[in-house]
Amino acid sequence: MKQLKLLAATILALALVVVIVQNAAPVEVRILFFSFTLPQAVLLFIVGAGGFMLGILAALLLRKRGAAAPPGSSAGHGG
């Protein structure tokens, strides 16, 4: 099992290197009144990390909301 994890980690690391090398070109990003240039791989990382954090936040909020309702109640189920 340990060798399988090492193999999976190696494959993921190689895939990450391929993505970084293929997306090294600079891109211009414009957000409202700001404009800046950064490598596309960095932009991909920022967007992916932001999505990951939003997913964690949503899961935590839903878990908290589900824990607030007593077991067996129909709170939040429209009925």
Give the domain extent around 33: 19-59
Decide if 72 is inside a domain. no
Q: Which residues of the chain have pLDDT under 70?
A: 67-79
Structural domain contains residue 2: no
Q: Could you say which DSSP state residue 74 is in?
A: -
For the CA atoms of 40, 42, 46, 49, what is the dihedral angle to 10 degrees? 110
Indicate whether 37 belongs to any domain: yes
Q: How many domains does the chain have?
A: 1
Task: Please check whether residue 78 lies inside any domain of the structure.
Answer: no
∠64-69-74 over CA atoms, to 5°? 130
pTM, two decimal places: 0.61
With respect to residue 10, please indicate whether it lies within any of the assigned structural domains. no
Q: How far is CA 62 from CA 4, 58, 65, in A?
A: 34, 6, 5
Distance of CA 79 to the CA centre of its chain: 34
For tokens 């340990």, name the residue. Answer: 2
